[in-house]
A and B are shown apart, each in its own frame.
Chain A
C-alpha cells in the first residue's frame, strides 16, 4: 500500500464541516486559514495503481490567528494538526483552501515568492534530534537561512552570535555539532534557526514533547520571553493539553482532520462544549492525587477511526456517547455558540471535568 497526493475525491461520503464565520477572528489577524484541505490517496499495486481509499488528513480547517498572540492547536495523533502546520508553510501542497498571511493568499505563490514568504513564517520542529543536520555545526545550522539569502559572512556571524545569546546558548556553542548537546539545548538551536530571518509568525510543532519534564519548562519560558521581546505570533501545536493551556491565548481542538472546537484558553478548559473536548480533558491525568481520586473520568470506547475513509458527517459519532441519527448523516457546522466560542456539535453541552 502506498500513499500519495491526490485530488479531492468527489464520491466520498464524508467531507469538511461547514463553518459559520471565522473561528478565532479578531481585530488584527496575521493569519487566516480558510477551508484548508489535504487528501492523500491510498493506492495498491506497484504498476497499475488502484486507488483504494483517501486519507482525509486535513479537511476544511478554518481559523484565524491574531497578531502577537499564541494560537494553540491540540488533538491526538492523526488528527491532522502537524499536517496543517506543513500546509500553512507550504512544506506540503494543499489539496484546496486558502492560507491568508497578512491579507495575501500564500498558496498560489511561485517559488521565489514562497521563499520570500518563508522569511516571515518559520517553524520549530518536535524532535530536536532529527531536526538538526548532524553534519553541520550549530553556527552553520543557524546561519544557513542567512547564507542562502546572500547575507555577508560578517553580518551572518554577528547575527548568529546574537541569536545564540537570545536563545540562552553560549558563544562557543556555535562551533559544536548537534550530538554534543542535550535535547533542551538542541531545541534552543532549533528556535535560533527559526528566528534567524526575523519572522513574524512561528509555528511550534510539538516543541517540548520530546523533552524531559524539567527541561520543558525552560523551553516554554524561552518561547514566552522571545514572544515578548520580538513581538512574535505563535501557532503552538501539541498533544499535551497542560502546556497548551499555559502558553496559548486561543485554542482549537482537532479530531480526524476537523476543527471541532475553538475558544479562548480558560473558556475552553473550564467550559468545554464539544463531547470530544470534554473527553480529552477528562482523560488527562492531573498531578494532584486528591483531585485525581475525586475526578470522574470519561473513558471513550475504542480507538479513533482510521483517517482513511473516516466516518461520515460528524467524525466523532463512532465514539460519542451522545450520538444520534443526525450525527451520522448531517455534518454539524462549526458555529459560534457563545461569543468567541465555536463548536461543531449537534448536541453541545457545557460540562466541566477539571
Chain B
C-alpha cells in the first residue's frame, strides 16, 4: 500500500473466519489516530533493533566520510614504498598496503567513495525510474505498454556483464561506474512507482485535484509523488547498499575505480594476494563493504516495516 490512511480496508485473515485485523478493527470502531504520521513511523522503526543498528552504522560512516581529514593521520594516496605492506601497528592501525599507504586512512576515505557512488547512482536511477514510472502509470495505454517493455528489456540484461560491457565502451573510471549503475538500476524504481501511481490514480483526491483544474504535471508532482514515494524510499535505501556492493565488485574485477582512488573494491583486490600473510589488507576493506551493505539493507527493511505495518 502506498498511501497511509487510518482507514484500512478489512483484510481477510488466513482462517477465512473474519476480515478483522487489529488495524481494520480500530478503523471499524472509528478510532481517530492520536499521533502524527512521522511520529508513528519513527515509533515503529525504533522497535526494530537491526534497523537501528543499520542506521547507526550509516550515521558513523557518513560522519567518517565528512570528517575524514580530521580522523586520519596520513594521506590515503601518499606512497611509502620503503614501508611496503605491513600488518596493523600503532602508527598504522589497519596496517599498510603494497605501496605503503595507510589502510585505515584508505578505508575511511573509501567511505567517501562508496557513499558518493551509492548516492549519485541512486539519484540517476531514481530520476529515470520516477519519470518512466510516472509517465507509464499516469498516461497508461500504449505509452505504458512501450515503457514497461523497455523496462523488461533492461531487466533482462545480465547485470554485471552489461555493466562491464558498458564501462569498456564508455571508458573506465568512478564516474562511469556511477553512470552505469544508475542506467542499469532504474527499472525497479519505475515499476514500483508505476504501481503506486496506478493505485493512487483511482483515489478521489486525484479526481478532486483535476476537478479544481490542476494540470497533469501538478497532479503528478504535487499529489502523486508524495503519496507514491514510500516504497521508493524503502527500495532506494536498499539500492544504495547494493550500489556500494556493485561498485566494489566492479572495482575488484578491475573495471571500476582507478588507482590511486581509495575504493574498497580495489583494496580487496589487492589484499587477496596477501590473504595468508597480511589478512588485514583484505579484512578491513572487506568488512567495510559488508557492514555498509548490511546497514543499508537493514535500514531499508526497517523502513518498510515502519512505513507500512500491514505488510509484515
Contact = CB atoms under 8 A, between A and B. Distances in A.
Interface string A102-134: 000000000000010011001101110111111
A13 B30 CA distance: 47
Nearest to B214: A148
Contact of B204 (A126, A136, A149): A126
A151 to B, nearest CB: 12
Contacts of B30: 182-183, 212
A315 interface: no
Contacts of A148: 212-215, 218
A149 B223 CA distance: 17
A125 B207 contact: yes
A145 B204 contact: no
A126 B222 CA distance: 22
Contacts of B223: 133
B227 A118 contact: no
A91 interface: yes
Interface string A140-176: 0000110011000000000000000000000000000
Given A91-B210, A118-B213, A148-B212, A177 B37 contact: yes
B11 interface: no
B208 interface: yes
B5 interface: yes
B209 interface: yes
Nearest to B225: A135
A119 B205 contact: no
A80 B264 CA distance: 63
B33 interface: yes
Interface stretch (A190-198, A228-236, A250-258): A190-198
B211 A182 contact: no
Interface in B51-94: none
Interface in B184-213: 203-205, 207-213
A130 B6 CA distance: 11
Interface in B29-46: 30, 32-33, 36-37
Given A144-B214, A145-B213, A148-B214, A134 B3 contact: yes
Nearest to B27: A129
A127 B202 CA distance: 12
Contacts of A122: 211-212
Interface size of A as a range: 20 to 34
B205 A130 contact: yes
Nearest to B218: A148
Interface residues of B, number: 28
Nearest to A114: B213
Contacts of B3: 134
Contact of A129 (B7, B36, B212, B226): B7
A51 interface: no
Contact of B211 (A91, A133, A134, A149): A91
A89 interface: yes
A182 B215 contact: no
Given A125-B207, A133-B223, A118 B212 contact: yes
A266 to B, nearest CB: 32
Contacts of A115: 213
From A86, A149, A177, A180, name the one whose CB has the most chain B CB atoms within 10 angstroms. A180
Interface string B148-190: 0000000000000000000000000000000000000000000
Contact of A179 (B37, B141, B204, B213): B37
B244 to A, nearest CB: 30
A136 B7 CA distance: 17
A146 to B, nearest CB: 9
A160 to B, nearest CB: 13
The 6 A-B residue pairs whose C-beta atoms are closest, nearest first, are A145-B212, A131-B204, A135-B226, A125-B204, A130-B204, A115-B213
Interface of B: 3-7, 30, 32-33, 36-37, 141, 203-205, 207-215, 218, 222-223, 226-227
17 contacts: A86-B207, A91-B211, A119-B213, A122-B211, A122-B212, A123-B211, A126-B204, A129-B6, A129-B7, A130-B204, A132-B208, A144-B212, A145-B213, A148-B218, A179-B4, A179-B6, A179-B33
Interface of A: 4, 86, 89, 91, 115, 118-119, 122-123, 125-127, 129-136, 144-145, 148-149, 177, 179-180, 182-183, 190, 193, 196-197, 212
